[in-house]
Chain A
Amino acid sequence: MSSKLVHAVYDDDDTLLHAVKDVKKADYHIEEVFTPFPVHGLDHAMGLAGTRIAVAAFMYGILGFTVAIVMINYIMIEDWPQNIGGKPSFSFMENLPAFVPVIFEMTVFFAAHLMVITFYLRSKLWPFKKAENPMPETTDDKFLMQVAVDGDEKKLMTLLKKSGAIDISIHENEHA
């Protein structure tokens, strides 16, 4: 990893998207891009691998589905069968329609909450964490692209300037 990073600032998401494509085409390594909102197609342009959160969500859903069945079977059938509206209280299958809403909600609950937690873990976020954002304006109306400097620094600068950056600066790479 190189020790220097170029910070190029943009004020428009379309310009940024084209700049990312140009920089990628010229074979530079984009360290990170900071945007105030999700930019459609940016992950694709940066060449990021597709998210696997969907697979995780499916597995969490199955987990919730299983937990719900075990839980409601224990509560309503095994431990303390209750006569509710004369429904068959000693059989899980015969009482299934009444349990479907519970099973559905638990599936959704597990999938949703575990997905959020997974997202936090994968993004290395936790409460009171200090922001890693190099430029606070990217949470307002600016877009920032970090490019690693490899070889010809000048050529990279002209490329970025030509791509429509409103500000370009060089920084030491703290993570290198």
Chain B
Amino acid sequence: MYTFAQRLKITAFVLMGLGLIGLAIGFASTPSTVAEAQAMVADAHGGHGDAHGSEHNAHDTHATDSHKEDTHHDDAYAADAHGEHHDDAHGEHLLHQLQNKPWAALYVAAFFFFMIALGTLAFYAIQRAAQAGWPILLYRVMEGITAYLVPGSIIIYVFLVLTGLHANHLFVWMDAETVAHDEIIQGKVGYLNVPFFLIRAAIYLLGWNAYRYFSRKFSLAQDNAPSGDISNHKKNFRISAGFLVFFFVTESMMAWDWIMSLDPHWFSTLFGWYVLASMLVTAVTVIALVSIYLKSKGYLPKVNHSHLHDLAKFMFGLSVFWTYLWFSQFMLIWYSNIPEEVTYFLTRIDDYNLPFFGMVVMNFIFPLLILMSSDYKRSNWIIVMAGIIIVIGHYIDIFNMIMPATVGDQWFIGWAEIGGFLFFAGLFIYVVFRALSKAPLEVSGDPYVGESERFVY
């Protein structure tokens, strides 16, 4: 049995405390009037004239390609009213972006840590459904990580409900005024409307949490079952296979709903897949990191280098898979160069150049080179180092998915971003390690446990 180390518990609470302070400062420092917003941006640019000039240009581009920009509420309106209300419309737009910023930062962090738990759940279900022999000794680690699914789901759902009640302006299509001026969104209202959006979210979350609840229950029941009785194992196999069918459909829809609809004009057919790749690679990385941490504290004595080697192989392979999808999405849109599609990447390359290309280095080139060697995949400190880079890289990936649509070019890594990350990191650590201390770290009744113990690569 693992006992939750006091120091780790304190670390988790400190992270949560610091995170809350950061979020509070982030929310407190948002402007409430157009004038304040303009003053903030002018300060940041070191001169009102300059800032105004460059924004003026930016606005002109909006006006010419009125369909290109799907991220702004007042877009169609601004284009129509270009002549008279130029400054007003633009100032209001800026105000909304700055007001969105802490909300978006909160959403990025909340989704990122939720996604780790969800990815782990999918990875766990794949192992169960495939009746894999090697990862049995890591099942309890995975179950510990998926324990975050419950608080994570609640936070995400509350967030989505608040968004639906217009506490923030993250989703443009929730704004009736914008929809009234936007024919493309009007055509999608049958799918993109607040009640249906929340009902869908509830279905996804309930389905995933139900699988998590039952698989954990059967897994624990199998430990106490008399020898020879593998009925719980079989039940787990069956519900895992069923869950995977449900998951791959709902995960894709979740990616459209929660992320892709932030840019309601834009669509990509492999988007669900792309989010899934990000999810799985982060999840496997976190499984490896938690396992190495537990091993360093003397737990998991039967987990050997071969198990970690397999996880590192997944980290390597899924990183390449992520890159494949990232590039497939990018190249096709870059090549065809259709305005309403390519705007997605234009905003990212123009306004998010460093995070956009930086994450390719962190999520592809670095893991590719460092994890290619078989010996390196067996070395704990290399896995930890590569893992930390991969986790941060995929946080930036989510950042790049959510921020451009919600705050536009007004992004920076400030109080709310760091605070959000720290708060959810703390909560994640607290929930995961508390769950790990609830059950023996080694599965005992699983029919394949012997295979996992003898596992040698």
Contacts and interface: CB of A to CB of B under 8 A. Distances in A.
Q: A and B, one complex? A: yes
Interface of A: 41, 54, 58, 85-87, 97-98, 100-101
B331 interface: yes
A54 B377 CA distance: 14
Interface in B322-339: 327, 330-331, 334-337
Contacts of A87: 335
A101 B330 CA distance: 13
A86 B456 CA distance: 54
B331 A85 contact: no
Nearest to B332: A97
A97 B337 CA distance: 13
B372 A58 contact: yes
Nearest to B336: A85
Contacts of A54: 373-374
A26 to B, nearest CB: 24
Contacts of A86: 337
A152 to B, nearest CB: 34
Contact of B331 (A41, A58, A98): A98
Given A85-B337, A86-B337, A100 B372 contact: no
A54 B372 CA distance: 10
A87 B331 CA distance: 12
Contacts of B334: 97
A98 B335 contact: yes
B73 to A, nearest CB: 32
A41 B455 CA distance: 12
Contacts of B335: 85, 87, 97-98
Nearest to A41: B456
Nearest to B334: A97
Contacts of B330: 97
Contacts of B331: 97-98, 100-101
A97 B342 CA distance: 14
19 contacts: A41-B456, A54-B373, A54-B374, A58-B372, A85-B335, A85-B336, A85-B337, A86-B337, A87-B335, A97-B327, A97-B330, A97-B331, A97-B334, A97-B335, A98-B331, A98-B335, A100-B327, A100-B331, A101-B331
Nearest to B372: A58
Given A58-B372, A97-B331, 6 more contacts: A54-B374, A85-B335, A85-B337, A87-B335, A98-B331, A100-B327
A155 B279 CA distance: 61
A85 B342 CA distance: 14
Contacts of A97: 327, 330-331, 334-335
A41 B454 CA distance: 13
Contacts of A100: 327, 331
A98 B333 CA distance: 11
Closest 10 CB pairs of A and B: A97-B331, A97-B334, A85-B335, A100-B327, A98-B335, A54-B374, A97-B330, A100-B331, A85-B337, A58-B372
A97 B330 CA distance: 8
A97 B360 CA distance: 13
Nearest to A40: B456
A100 B335 CA distance: 12
Q: Which has the most chain B C-beta neighbours within 10 Å: A58, A85, A97?
A: A97
Contacts of B374: 54
Contacts of B336: 85
Nearest to B374: A54
Nearest to B456: A41
B158 to A, nearest CB: 40
A101 B328 CA distance: 10
Contacts of A98: 331, 335
Contacts of B373: 54
A87 B330 CA distance: 15
